[in-house]
Amino acid sequence: MIRHQYKLVAAVVVAVVFVGLLVTVFQPFQYRASVQVLVIEQANGVDAYSAIRSAEKINTNLSHIVYTSSFREKALSSALSSNTVLPTDPIKRQKAWAKSVKAQTISETGILKVDVYRADRQEAMALAGAVAAVLSTSGAEYLGSGSVLIKIVDQPVSPNYPVKPNVVLNLAASIALGLLLSIGYILLTAHEQEEAQSRDRLDSELAAVDYPVVAPVTTDAVVLPGIVTDQPSRPDVVPVRHSTVAPTKQALVAAESSDDEPTDAFYKMLFPDKQ
């Protein structure tokens, strides 16, 4: 079924891919710069596993501190990030910072990774260096503990090509969406056509059956001499003709003197012509 409609599938996929590429092209391209810092808790009598677990907890706190306005202004005031410009409105400034900086903890390592996204590659690397510098110099201050040591273990690095938008991912998603839409449309229309054919086939089968025709039974008024009765018109029933002649005096006397049963005398009275 789908094999016979490959042209429709191809047309839908091409259309969706074209729209996806247009959306990708009109999105602003951004470079990513990554930096990593190692958090070490300087505590005596603590085993390595407990120290790493404690460092992960500290990194979780630092990943939230990175998005605070205090940390943001310290990083932006650094000489390394002098080229970074954000909106002056506080709400828009905070949103722009949240889109530009992403902090995440690498599990079971005690390392905090910070990714910075900017339209200019050099600007992204400079801002990533500023964030790492603030973490290493003021991180313990934000944590309120002097026993925490934060060291930069990886200097800012950035690929030579933009990472946003992800052209390969958008292309794959467009192809998958096009296949899903086209196949879904084909299956839906095939189901509707099958139902319509089933209804037509059932109607034709019913029309071909020779059902017996039953005549309706009507009630006609049967007019008899002197009596009108309503009874079904049946060919096997012969209406009884009732006499309209009143019984004579002789008939009544004969009925009274008769030795027959009362019913016989009454019958003779009503129907003298049947005697």
Domain membership flag for residue 150: yes
Span 154-208, pLDDT tens digits: 999 999 988 888 888 889 999 999 889 888 888 888 777 778 778 777 777 777 7
Domain membership flag for residue 213: no
Single out the residue in 162, 179, 208 at which a domain terminates: 162
Instruction: Say if residue 137 is in the same domain as residue 233.
Output: no
What pLDDT shows up at residue 224?
47
Domain membership flag for residue 202: no
Instruction: Say if residue 54 is in the same domain as residue 72.
Output: yes
Q: Measured between alpha carbons, how far is 167 from 161 in angstroms, rounded to an integer?
A: 11
> Strand, coil or helix: what is 72?
helix
Instruction: Say if residue 133 is in the same domain as residue 226.
Output: no
Q: Which residues contact 156 (CB under 8 A, 6 or more apart)?
A: 33, 34, 35, 116, 124, 125, 126, 128, 129, 132
pTM: 0.60
Instruction: Say if residue 132 is in the same domain as residue 250.
Output: no
Domain membership flag for residue 203: no
Concatenated DSSP letters for 226-261? TEEEEEE--TT-PPPPPP-SPPPHHHHHHHHH--S-
The number of domains in the chain is 3
What range does the domain containing 106 cover? 29-162
CATH code of the domain covering residue 69: 3.30.70.1130
216 pLDDT higher than 70 = no
Instruction: Say if residue 81 is in the same domain as residue 112.
Output: yes
CA angle 230, 232, 238 (to 5 degrees): 95
Residue 16 burial (CB count, 10 A)? 20
Identify the band that residue 52 occupies on the pLDDT scale cut at 50, 70 and 90.
confident
| Number of continuous H segments (helices) and E segments (strands) in the chain | 8, 6
127 pLDDT higher than 90 = yes
Domain membership flag for residue 208: no
Domain membership flag for residue 207: no
Identify the band that residue 115 occupies on the pLDDT scale cut at 50, 70 and 90.
very high
Instruction: Say if residue 114 is in the same domain as residue 186.
Output: no
Highest mean pLDDT among 49-53, 100-104, 197-201: 100-104
Q: Whats the size of the chain, residue-wise?
A: 275
Instruction: Say if residue 51 is in the same domain as residue 172.
Output: no
Q: Which residue did the predictor score with more confidence, 40 or 99?
A: 99
Instruction: Say if residue 62 is in the same domain as residue 127.
Output: yes
Instruction: Say if residue 105 is in the same domain as residue 125.
Output: yes
Instruction: Say if residue 33 is in the same domain as residue 158.
Output: yes
Q: Which amino acid is at 173?
A: A
Identify the band that residue 66 occupies on the pLDDT scale cut at 50, 70 and 90.
very high
What pLDDT shows up at residue 34?
95
Domain membership flag for residue 60: yes
Domain membership flag for residue 239: yes
Characterise 260 by phi-psi region: left (phi > 0), alpha (psi -120 to 50), beta (else): beta
Instruction: Say if residue 112 is in the same domain as residue 175.
Output: no
Instruction: Say if residue 85 is in the same domain as residue 188.
Output: no
70 pLDDT higher than 80 = yes
